[in-house]
Amino acid sequence: MALILWILAVILVIYGITMIFRGQVLLGIVVIIVGLLVGPGGVSIFT
């Protein structure tokens, strides 16, 4: 389960970075924060 959360967090952070480069800064920052919260290294919302 931790591996799945880690992969999901990486995908969200990368997607957030691409959104920032496309000009959607606020939404990109929100996606990055959600990615950091989901990841096992952060404060996981699933535990």
For 1-47, what is each residue's pLDDT tens digit?
778 888 888 899 999 999 999 999 999 999 999 888 887 666 555 55
pLDDT value, residue 44: 54
pLDDT value, residue 19: 94
Distance of alpha carbon 18 from alpha carbon 40, whole angstroms = 22
Tokens describing residue 12:
């969200």
